[in-house]
């Protein structure tokens, strides 16, 4: 079989790089700044939420390093109301509680496979690689039996990765978790407002320099993508959700580690909704400035509601 990777969908220009979030083929399935305060969610304490006052902020970017086809611009004032958002993406430990309480099966489990990055495939999973391909992105392997609790394929697990973000979850899976937890996915405007941490039009969530003072601020790729990852930041795959400093609002991992699903449908340059597609934000551990520098705070990409991969997760809001 063949798989899709970010077709244009009427947006114009070149499709987003398929390192971002490969799509399941259609046949597969019909320290906080002032004004921010930490609160505990009401459904049993599985998510620490940060209350933000909302307001007007400048959303988007005209950064020449951006991707015009991703519709990152123009810069425009946007108003968001008060809301709460989780300090971190949902972790394996949190998702396991949800599964234990409900018996939920993810889309990856129902379909029987998900996408694993080639360098992370566990050796025992090699016989389970399906005869599939992602156009222009052969580093994505469709692996039978890969899902949230076996993120690198059969024989892998999440023991020791309890504080890593859950991956191999689809938009539908994230919405199911939200229904159980009494939360929701953030809108794209809420996500960017929170990710900026009070900074206006900075390139990154912490400022304009990627590694200030030589210090890594997020989990992204170092080396020659997609063959050599030197892991200078300490991680070749996902990292614990608090491994890097938080932004000005106390949010962790708004850049790198895993792409985060949002509630926003993908719209083309004319504002038309692309059916079954939603916006993802934040970039992942596979982002690299030579190929996909979407760890910039205004960067965005898209996925379909049933797609899952080893670099996509979510964070909740309310």
Q: Pick out the chain residues at pLDDT < 70.
A: 1-19, 26-47
The reply to whether 19 falls in a domain is no
The reply to whether 2 falls in a domain is no
What pLDDT was estimated at residue 26? 63
What pLDDT was estimated at residue 218? 98
What pLDDT was estimated at residue 48? 83
Q: Give the C-alpha separation, 187 to 168, whole Å.
A: 21
The reply to whether 6 falls in a domain is no
Q: Give the C-alpha separation, 267 to 187, whole Å.
A: 13
Contact 283, 299 (CB under 8 A): yes
What pLDDT was estimated at residue 37? 45
Domain count, the chain: 1
Q: Per residue in 212-225, pLDDT tens? A: 999 999 999 999 99
What pLDDT was estimated at residue 284? 98
What pLDDT was estimated at residue 19? 56
Closest CA to 316 of 133, 98, 119, 151: 98
Q: Is 93 left (phi over 0), alpha (psi -120 to 50) or beta?
A: alpha
The reply to whether 95 falls in a domain is yes
Q: Report the interhelical angle of 171-181 vs 92-102 (nearest 10°).
A: 70
The reply to whether 7 falls in a domain is no
The reply to whether 21 falls in a domain is no
Provide the 10 A C-beta neighbour count for residue 114: 31
Sequence-distant (6+) residues with CB within 8 A of 216 are 232, 233, 234, 244
Q: Give the C-alpha separation, 303 to 24, whole Å.
A: 9
**pTM as predicted:** 0.89
The reply to whether 14 falls in a domain is no
H or E, element range at 259: strand 259-267
Q: Is 71 left (phi over 0), alpha (psi -120 to 50) or beta?
A: left
What pLDDT was estimated at residue 47? 57
Domain extent for 155: 26-317
The reply to whether 86 falls in a domain is yes
Q: Give the C-alpha separation, 154 to 60, whole Å.
A: 40
Give me the CATH number covering residue 247.
Answer: 3.90.1580.10
């Amino acid at each position: 079989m063949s798989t899709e990777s970010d077709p244009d969908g009427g947006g114009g220009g070149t499709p987003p790089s398929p390192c971002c979030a490969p799509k399941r083929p259609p046949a597969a399935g019909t320290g906080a700044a002032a004004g921010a305060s930490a609160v505990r969610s009401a459904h049993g304490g599985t998510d620490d939420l940060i209350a933000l006052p909302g307001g007007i902020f400048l959303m988007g970017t005209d950064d020449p390093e951006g991707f015009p086809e991703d519709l990152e611009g123009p810069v425009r004032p946007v108003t968001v109301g008060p809301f709460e958002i989780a300090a971190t993406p949902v972790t394996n430990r949190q998702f396991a509680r949800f599964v234990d309480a409900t018996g939920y099966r993810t889309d990856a489990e129902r379909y029987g496979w998900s996408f694993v990055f080639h360098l992370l495939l566990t050796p025992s999973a090699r016989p389970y690689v399906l005869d599939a391909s992602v156009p222009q992105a052969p580093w994505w392997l469709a692996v039978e039996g890969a899902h949230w609790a076996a993120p690198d394929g059969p024989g892998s697990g999440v023991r020791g990765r309890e504080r890593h973000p859950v991956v191999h979850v689809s938009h539908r899976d994230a919405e199911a978790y939200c229904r159980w937890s009494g939360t929701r996915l953030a809108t794209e405007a809420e996500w960017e407002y929170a990710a900026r941490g009070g900074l206006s039009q900075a390139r990154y969530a912490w400022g304009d320099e990627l590694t200030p003072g030589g210090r890594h601020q997020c989990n992204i790729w170092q080396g020659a993508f997609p063959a050599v990852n030197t892991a200078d930041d300490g991680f070749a795959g996902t990292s614990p959700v608090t491994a890097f400093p938080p932004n000005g609002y106390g949010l962790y991992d708004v850049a790198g580690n895993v792409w985060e699903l949002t509630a926003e449908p993908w719209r083309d340059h004319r504002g038309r909704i692309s059916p079954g597609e939603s916006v993802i934000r934040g970039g992942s551990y596979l982002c690299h400035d030579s190929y996909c520098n979407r760890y910039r705070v205004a960067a965005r990409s898209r996925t379909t509601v049933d797609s899952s991969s080893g670099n996509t997760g979510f964070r909740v809001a309310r």
